Amino acid sequence: MPAVQRSEFLLALNQVANERGVDVEVVLDTVKNAILAAYKKDHPDVELEEYSTTLDKNTGEATILHRKKDVTPPGFGRIAAQTARQVILQKIREKEKEAIIADYKLRVGTIVNGMILRFAGPNIIVDVGKTEALMPIPEQIPNEKYHLNQRIAVYISEIRNGLKGDEIIVSRSSNGLLEGLFKREVPEVAKGSVVIKNIAREAGVRCKVAVFSNQQGIDPVGSCVGQRGVRVQAIIQEFGGIEKIDIIQWQGNAKDYIAQALSPAKQVRVELDKKEEKVAHVFVPVEELSLAIGRDGQNVRLASKLTDYRIEIEEDKSLKKEEPKEKKIKEVKVEEKKTKEPKDEKVESKKAASARSSGEQKEVEAEVPTDTKV
């Protein structure tokens, strides 16, 4: 006996399937399961494994079968149809979510623009377009402030099982976000003519990016910095200006690479340890030690992550030995000045003495005529 399902209802389901991007066959299977669920509610003692249902695609008429026998109850009425409708809508929402998750699985490893919807305890719920994503504490930048309706760029790091099924996890602290921003702001990186070899990052504080290019005529560092720093400044502004970005050129030679990674320190001498692998001894002048080490060891720590070497900073004593020679030269020059000064003083004293003697002679001559008059 046909159920009270109408063909218009089936057309509505087809429309919903098209709007939500769900396959029509999936919707039809969902309808069949919903009809069995409604039948189970009116007949709780039956085993659904022994029952099946058929659905006419043209008319939308459903029939319940028990071992290929039509057992559709008379007046499979309004309550059963309403129950079926609720189950259908729930199943459609589940299928819609599965389709969205499948879409975002293909987008893992990319960046998207989002907006902060609400705070779920320490976690942040971000609207990423078709659905919502979760940004837990480890994926947040520690010293970055977040507020409602704030628009931010996030990195889709993974999709994992949560309390409510699959959850999309987004990140602001991942290196992938920084790489994605460079691809968005620097056309050479997006095209592949400039390659980001490695990134060492302490989110919200500072990061170092090693870039390289095989193509002649392309300056990888200059391409990423941009004219007057426009490109890198756009990336820094994405983090609210709280994170500094050092861009260095990747080198195939380990010594040169380590020296570049310790920027802004200059005049560094690198020696690789012959006994231990991935250990480098770096000799730095005294005046460059603070730059090479950085605040709280940050510069050398990032350089170590970037190069995958354990870097040991030491004072360059060879430059210290050369300093006394310069001091001696300065001392000699100072002594020469001192020796010249007494000569000048002697000349001046002689001139003064001669002036005094001439004055005395004039006085004597002036006295002589007075005596003669007397």
Place of tokens 């060492």: 200
Predicted pLDDT of residue 79: 57
Predicted pLDDT of residue 101: 92
Q: What is the mean pLDDT of residues 148-154?
A: 96
Predicted pLDDT of residue 4: 41
Per the CB < 8 A criterion, the answer to whether 317 and 296 are in contact is no
Angle subtended by helix axes 298-307 and 254-261, to nearest 10: 150
- Topology adopted by domain 7-105: N Utilization Substance Protein A; Chain:P; domain 4 (3.30.1480)
Q: What is the mean pLDDT of residues 316-330?
A: 55
Predicted pLDDT of residue 108: 95
Closest CA to 2 of 68, 50, 73: 73
Q: What is the mean pLDDT of residues 135-143?
A: 95
Closest CA to 280 of 270, 265, 292: 270
Strands 206-212 and 195-202: antiparallel
Q: What is the mean pLDDT of residues 235-250?
A: 95
pTM of the model: 0.69
Give phi and psi for 204, each to the nearest 5: 85, 0
Q: How far apart are CA 37 and CA 43, in angstroms?
A: 10
Q: How far apart are CA 168 and CA 75, in angstroms?
A: 45
Going from N- to C-terminal start, the domains of the chain cover: 7-105, 111-173, 251-321, 335-374
Q: What is the mean pLDDT of residues 312-318?
A: 86
Residue 25 tokens, joined: 């066959």
User: What CATH code would you report for 251-321?
Assistant: 3.30.300.20
Place of tokens 């990319």: 110
Cα dihedral: 217, 223, 227, 229 (round 10): -150
Kindly tell me the sign of the dihedral angle through the C-alpha atoms of 146, 148, 153, 154.
positive
DSSP code string of 205-266: TEEEEEEE--STT--HHHHHH-GGGHHHHHHHHHTTT-SEEEEEE--SSHHHHHHHHTTT--
Residue 246 tokens, joined: 């050092």
Predicted pLDDT of residue 348: 53
Please list, in sequence order, all residues whose beta carbon lies within 8 angstroms of the beta carbon of residue 189, skipping any fewer than 6 positions away.
182, 183, 195, 196, 211, 223, 224
pLDDT tens digits, 4-54: 444 566 666 667 677 666 777 777 787 778 788 878 877 888 887 888 888
pLDDT tens digits, 324-370: 445 444 554 545 555 555 544 444 555 555 545 555 444 434 344 44
Average pLDDT over all residues of the chain? 81
Predicted pLDDT of residue 24: 74
The DSSP letter of residue 252 is S
Q: Is the pLDDT of residue 171 over 90?
A: yes
* CATH class of the 111-173 domain in this structure: mainly beta
